[in-house]
Structure 1
Amino acid sequence: MTFAGERAAARRRLVVGGIATALVASGLAACSPEPPTPDSATQALAAALASGDFGEAPFAGGAVDETEATAARTAAFEGLAPWEPQVKVVSTTIDEKDEDLATVTFGYTWDVDESDADWTYETSAKLARDDEDLWRATWSPSLLAPDLVAGEVLTVTRARAERANVLGAGGAVIVEPRTVHRLGIDKTRVAAPEQDAAARAFAAALSIDAEAYAGKVAAAGERAFVEAITVRHGDLAYDVAALAAMPGVNDVTDQLPLAPTRQFARPILGTVGPATAEIIEKSDGAVSDGDLTGLSGLQRQYDAQLRGLPGLTITAAQPDGTAPRQLYAVEPTPGTPLTTTIDVGLQEAAEHVISEVAPASAVVALRPSTGDVLAAASGVGGEGMSTATLGQFAPGSTFKVVTALALLRSGMTADSDTTCPDTVSVDGRSFTNFPEYPTDKLGTIPLRTAFANSCNTAFISARDAANQDALIDAAGSLGLDPHASLGFAAFLGDVPGDSDGTDHAASMIGQGRVLASPLGMATVAASVAHGATVVPRLVVPAEGAATPSPTADETEPSDEATDAPRPVVPLTADEAATLQQLMRGVVTEGGATFLLDVPGDEVAAKTGTAQFGEAGNLQNHVWMIAIQGDLAVAVFVDVGEYGSTTAGPLLEEFLRAAQG
């Protein structure tokens, strides 16, 4: 019999011999303290098993058990990092024959993936109450996992899930697995003394940093394959066969999720590749070394949806892998496709239109009736940035659509007279029209003529009829919401709320501190066409899926919106009809008559030029926006001549392509 058992037996003998006398004499038994329950001990042990800190664990063996438990838990669970279990007391049972003995059952829960299913199991421990009325347990490895014995460790093996495709309008497949060639030096294919020369020669052929690549090859293991570049199959920019024939080079054929071409909506869709150390660290175990993950764009933002859930097998075995026992297994769950609104044909047309444009540029097309983003192309001058959706530029005279709405709300009509002088001075600053402004459209002219010919001085002269708040409200009515959350990384536009004087005058013509993206100005055009405020939509949420927020490095508009959110003033059908007439006048009598013969529905448009830079070296952002049927388009070039002469031909080319 254990010490605890002997103590219990002595207590029972005492009860038999003297309890009746005690009760009769004084009734003291009713005041005797109840023996302590094991609850505090079991809770402390559960906390220790969960955290790995056994300093307060109620072990009978004291420091010896504490040391053994700490070492055993560290070794056993190391292969499951960064996961940590939750451990709770499921039940505690006092022995029916000996009240100084108890059995506790612990419930383990491991959150091993992003699904609602967890790995759960139970373990148990024996406790005994000592002569100090303290409950204590004896350490055993089986407290960590079912039937775990000394020396056994847990390991997890992952099976990669099939990454889902990215789809476009009508279910068209945009991103799917495509064949690629991983090219690099294979150190088993070239003798050690020749490896440095082989690496440098290969780097020179690829026009990459030879010193850096040779260093990577030298630092790799003696049988390593050191990848230098991944080339999509059929990429005419690389002669894969010739590169693979170079000394020491190996061509490893693989598949990666890729769009139809390297350029196709790349800044928006993003890329996929091996998970970085940062991504792995932030994933809480959802991503491990060697996994493919989204590295940027929608592929990164919706990575959890696209990559699915890996298959998992958790095994207990000796450290050398012998005597394995499977404790848990789950099959891979394929990813869920990401559906976008991108029209493949229109996106390709937009990419083609700006393929030869050197400065940063963009073409954005929306369907006004739905807000669907049909195309969002960014030119190579943006150096990988999504100029189409994240660019922040002064919109110039395309913003006069917004200003015109504010003036209409002040009581003006399309036929109201405005004053269009050569120059107008505001607080000592002189504003002029663009150099080629027609002289026969100066003087007192109706608003429709001032709009069609883009008279800066007329709009600035009317500044008292539309204060800054009126401009902000009008911008919001046309979709320029600086606080919009669209389900993808985007900036629409921002009109500062603290402008007056010359800054307000500049705002009237879309300059000063007014900012917009090509997506934002396409939204303005779409709202005019639709007759109500349009909210652009690029991503169609998967059924039952939450919409993730863009990560900080993907949104990053350079400046925060200047004002808190304010209610949107609805755009009325009458207001939109007048704006449509004004924009049509730009085509019939203003600066966009070249669009008169575009096939299909009538085109309405607005040109835009915004100066920027230092005095004496001013350059122009150039814009055009247009609506045609159920299509709204914005074209932007960072540096150009005028909206009509630089952006105009690009817009016409796109509209003609859209007509087929």
Structure 2
Amino acid sequence: MCRASHPLPSSRVISALAALALVLAGCGLLDSAPDPDPAAEAFAQGWQEGGIPDALLAASASAETVNEILENTAAQLGGDPIVEVRTVERDEQGDGATARLALTWTLPAGAWSYETTVPLVLGQDEEGWQVVWSTSVLHPELTEGQWLRSRSVVPERATILDADDQPLFTPLPVVHIGVEPQAVENLDQVLAVLADLVGIDPGPLRERVEAAAPDVFVDVITLRQEDFEPVRAALEPVPGLLFREGERPLAPTTGFARALLGRVGAPTAEVLEEARPGFGPGDELGLSGLQRQFQEQLSGRPGSEVVVVSAEGEALGPVYETAPNFGAPLRTTLVPEIQNAADAAVVDAATPSMIVAIRPSSGEVVAVAHGPDGGGANSAFTGQYPPGSSFKVVTSAALFAAGVEADEMVECPETATIFGRSFRNAEGGAFGTVPYREAFARSCNTTFVELTPRLPDEVMAQAAGGFGFGGDWSPGIPGFTGQVPPPQDDVERAASMIGQGRVLASPLLMASVTAAVADGNWRPPVLLPDHAQPGAGPVALDPATVDALQEMMRQVVEAGTGTTVAGVPGEPVHAKTGTAEYGDEDPPRTHAWFIGYQGDLAFAVLVEDGEAGGSVAGPVAARFLEQFPRG
């Protein structure tokens, strides 16, 4: 008679029982023993779906034991396998059979497939077939007590290169500071010391420490070795603090182009989710900047390894392995010596400040600096700021195209009312009737707005486009290419003449504007040679316009608003200052600009909430040029 089946261990094996029913359906109804194929199919289906019913197993093993082994293996290998029955063959006696199964596991590096054999025996009274379980069913190379463990083989991270293809990130010694909860005597003391010496927010850290297991290393911060040494003596005596030395890919200095390049470290959950499969919490991944934007290129693809582990936990050897795919270096155009000078120029800034430096002859971006703390976002590329009077370089090119001449006599009153709105010079003052070139050098807003009727909108748009405004170019990463929209009314048209209204630019764009004056050609900026998009560039500027702009920008330094860089060593500096109003406050807040070039180095300096371009951004430009190595 047919034997009643045992209750299933879980709902996950309902489908397996359905298949098993096919095995038992013929019990007692056929003169010959039932076919073993349905039993093999039921076993394969139960394995694949996470549950083997007890009735399908011979007395040598229980469903609880087998399912626990399969569940643990699935946890180690990342999920249940796909199991297919290839063949089922009965032995000559007819009471035994062997099923050949094909298994496919999905590992981070790809699929791992192999075949295994499953012995089956005919149950008592020939009532049905059952599987004779052993560890070798899991994998042919396993013996009793052994199990499988997988791990990712993470490749060494590729680096970011400078303009000479030299690594910008190299392995440097670091110290990982952490808290061991069970060793803490006074948590308030630990939090206070860490907040004071390394700037940790005590609130979130308290929550993490209190929620952690007693013997866990609660990671706090990782410091460069040279940054750890000054605080070592104060930190080491504090009970509960632990210190682990190691290495991490780091830029030359803490602030070196940090907002642009980003940093590498232990990944957050969000970063880990973005990364390719195979990386874990203990791996090093890009957390920000280029390191994160080009994660896949730099990190490569992990390989996989499956090893046999003894009952004592000893790894005995691999049964499967696939090599990782190494990442590729990311080429940049940065020049470390120039970058260091730019970083040093903004490190002590009172408000967020930035510098972008470009080679006019090539359009290559050689430095991108943010101060005072290295910056978070890469605002030098993506920021959208009114350019203020630095935009008068573009306006002048448009006015020359419309017929204005550099030596033409113009008025520079203290204020000018245009279309019902009053405009004034940013730093006050009135200079009477002067040549246009002097009005430019002294940054006379009133002169420019009074020339509004002489500049058709289409001529302004064409001139701005020739300097890259609104173009579809890209330096290789996101960057704001500016906007000079058609004016909505006459007042906005006048405001656009002095880089106000809805005119917006990024420091990257304004550095390319002054580079165009230096070279005579506007070239789309390039930071990542393998990823940059040139758009419609380069654009040749009118030679006469270039000559006039070069002369006027030199006059800014010699006798205008940019005299702060007059004493800089080396070739003559050409510049234009800008004070850009923004917001709705009265009086409005301002950003300070200073753009210019010296030889084959063009730059743009922006100081957020700076009072005036010449007096605030100018000294930053001077520090940059003075520290720039020559010869």
Superposed pair shares fold, TM > 0.5 = yes
Q: Counterparts of 1:618 and 1:198 in 2: how far apart (Å)?
A: 45
Q: Counterparts of 1:54 and 1:321 in 2: how far apart (Å)?
A: 32
**Equivalent pair of 2:474/2:524 in contact (CA under 8 Å):** no
Equivalent residue for 1:67, pick from 41, 46, 49: 46
**Equivalent pair of 1:525/1:625 in contact (CA under 8 Å):** yes
Does residue 535 (structure 1) correspond to residue 527 (structure 2)? The answer is no
Q: What's 1:355 paired with? A: 347
Does residue 81 (structure 1) correspond to residue 78 (structure 2)? The answer is yes
| Cα-to-partner distance string for 1:157-214 (whole Å, 9 max, x where unaligned) | 12332223333232444321111111222346x3x7x364564454455453445434
**Equivalent pair of 1:307/1:334 in contact (CA under 8 Å):** yes
For 1:393-432, list aligned pairs within 5 A. Answer: 393-432=385-424
Does residue 472 (structure 1) correspond to residue 461 (structure 2)? The answer is yes
Q: State the one-letter code of the partner of 1:244.
A: E
Q: State the one-letter code of the partner of 2:357.
A: A
Equivalent residue for 2:273, pick from 274, 278, 281: 281
**Equivalent pair of 1:620/1:641 in contact (CA under 8 Å):** yes
Q: What's 1:259 paired with? A: 251
Q: What's 1:463 paired with? A: 452
| Structure 2: gaps of 5 or more residues | 1-14, 23-36, 52-69, 88-98, 119-129
Q: What's 2:157 paired with? A: 163
Does residue 584 (structure 1) correspond to residue 576 (structure 2)? The answer is no
TM-score (norm 2): 0.76
How many equivalent residue pairs?
A: 562
Q: Counterparts of 2:550 and 2:582 in 1: how far apart (Å)?
A: 29
Does residue 571 (structure 1) correspond to residue 540 (structure 2)? The answer is yes
Shift in CA distance, 451/150, structure 1 to aligned 2, threshold 3 Å: farther
Cα RMSD (Å): 4.2
**Equivalent pair of 2:261/2:289 in contact (CA under 8 Å):** yes
Equivalent residue for 1:377, pick from 349, 355, 369: 369
Shift in CA distance, 368/468, structure 1 to aligned 2, threshold 3 Å: same
The percentage of counterpart residues that share the same residue type is 37
| Cα-to-partner distance string for 1:246-290 (whole Å, 9 max, x where unaligned) | 223222111112222221211111111112222222335142231
Q: Counterparts of 1:604 and 1:591 in 2: how far apart (Å)?
A: 11
**Equivalent pair of 2:48/2:81 in contact (CA under 8 Å):** no
Aligned-residue offset at 1:367: 0.8
**Equivalent pair of 1:200/1:210 in contact (CA under 8 Å):** yes
Q: Counterparts of 1:535 and 1:483 in 2: how far apart (Å)?
A: 10
Q: State the one-letter code of the partner of 1:433.
A: N
379-388 or 285-294, which deviates more: 379-388
Shift in CA distance, 307/319, structure 1 to aligned 2, threshold 3 Å: farther
Q: Counterparts of 2:116 and 2:400 in 1: how far apart (Å)?
A: 78
For 1:113-512, list aligned pairs within 5 A. Answer: 113=109, 119=111, 121=113, 123=115, 155-187=149-181, 190=183, 194=185, 196=187, 199-200=190-191, 202-203=193-194, 205-206=196-197, 208-235=200-227, 238-315=230-307, 326-332=318-324, 334-380=326-372, 384-440=376-432, 442=433, 445-481=434-470, 483-497=472-486, 499-512=488-501
Aligned-residue offset at 1:468: 4.1
Q: What's 1:17 paired with? A: none
For 1:617-628, list aligned pairs within 5 A. Answer: 617-628=587-598
Q: State the one-letter code of the partner of 2:491.
A: T
Q: Counterparts of 1:417 and 1:86 in 2: how far apart (Å)?
A: 85
Q: Counterparts of 2:455 and 2:149 in 1: how far apart (Å)?
A: 69
Shift in CA distance, 470/280, structure 1 to aligned 2, threshold 3 Å: same
| Structure 1: gaps of 5 or more residues | 1-52, 93-102, 127-137, 542-546, 550-564
Q: Counterparts of 2:136 and 2:538 in 1: how far apart (Å)?
A: 66
Q: Counterparts of 1:416 and 1:146 in 2: how far apart (Å)?
A: 93
Q: Counterparts of 1:437 and 1:236 in 2: how far apart (Å)?
A: 52
| Cα-to-partner distance string for 1:304-356 (whole Å, 9 max, x where unaligned) | 23233434312467999689773321345554333322222222212222222
Q: Counterparts of 1:486 and 1:145 in 2: how far apart (Å)?
A: 52
Shift in CA distance, 198/620, structure 1 to aligned 2, threshold 3 Å: closer
Aligned-residue offset at 1:626: 0.8
Q: Counterparts of 2:77 and 2:445 in 1: how far apart (Å)?
A: 66
Q: Counterparts of 1:149 and 1:421 in 2: how far apart (Å)?
A: 96
Shift in CA distance, 252/653, structure 1 to aligned 2, threshold 3 Å: same
Q: What's 1:4 paired with? A: none
Shift in CA distance, 107/657, structure 1 to aligned 2, threshold 3 Å: same
Aligned-residue offset at 1:481: 3.8
Aligned-residue offset at 1:502: 1.4
**Equivalent pair of 2:524/2:535 in contact (CA under 8 Å):** no
Q: State the one-letter code of the partner of 2:468.
A: G
**Equivalent pair of 2:83/2:101 in contact (CA under 8 Å):** no
- Say which SS state the counterpart of residue 479 (structure 2) adopts: coil
Shift in CA distance, 176/322, structure 1 to aligned 2, threshold 3 Å: closer
**Equivalent pair of 2:275/2:295 in contact (CA under 8 Å):** no
Q: Counterparts of 1:600 and 1:122 in 2: how far apart (Å)?
A: 71
Q: State the one-letter code of the partner of 2:45.
A: E
**Equivalent pair of 1:493/1:516 in contact (CA under 8 Å):** yes
**Equivalent pair of 1:123/1:144 in contact (CA under 8 Å):** no
Aligned-residue offset at 1:220: 1.8
Q: What's 2:579 paired with? A: 609
Q: Counterparts of 1:56 and 1:447 in 2: how far apart (Å)?
A: 93
- Say which SS state the counterpart of residue 239 (structure 1) adopts: helix
Aligned-residue offset at 1:294: 0.3
**Equivalent pair of 1:359/1:382 in contact (CA under 8 Å):** no
Q: Counterparts of 1:508 and 1:144 in 2: how far apart (Å)?
A: 77
- Say which SS state the counterpart of residue 608 (structure 1) adopts: strand
Shift in CA distance, 198/579, structure 1 to aligned 2, threshold 3 Å: closer
Shift in CA distance, 397/54, structure 1 to aligned 2, threshold 3 Å: farther
Q: What's 2:32 paired with? A: none
Equivalent residue for 1:514, pick from 503, 518, 528: 503
Q: State the one-letter code of the partner of 1:312.
A: S
Q: State the one-letter code of the partner of 1:67.
A: G
**Equivalent pair of 1:198/1:248 in contact (CA under 8 Å):** no
Q: Counterparts of 2:200 and 2:403 in 1: how far apart (Å)?
A: 63
53-62 or 622-631, which deviates more: 53-62
| Cα-to-partner distance string for 1:444-500 (whole Å, 9 max, x where unaligned) | x44323322222222222323434443333223213346433222432422224533
Shift in CA distance, 232/406, structure 1 to aligned 2, threshold 3 Å: same
Q: What's 1:654 paired with? A: 624
Shift in CA distance, 521/67, structure 1 to aligned 2, threshold 3 Å: same
Q: Counterparts of 2:526 and 2:136 in 1: how far apart (Å)?
A: 54
Q: Counterparts of 1:438 and 1:243 in 2: how far apart (Å)?
A: 60
Q: Counterparts of 2:532 and 2:308 in 1: how far apart (Å)?
A: 36
**Equivalent pair of 2:523/2:538 in contact (CA under 8 Å):** no
Q: Counterparts of 1:468 and 1:387 in 2: how far apart (Å)?
A: 29
Aligned-residue offset at 1:603: 1.9
**Equivalent pair of 2:306/2:319 in contact (CA under 8 Å):** yes
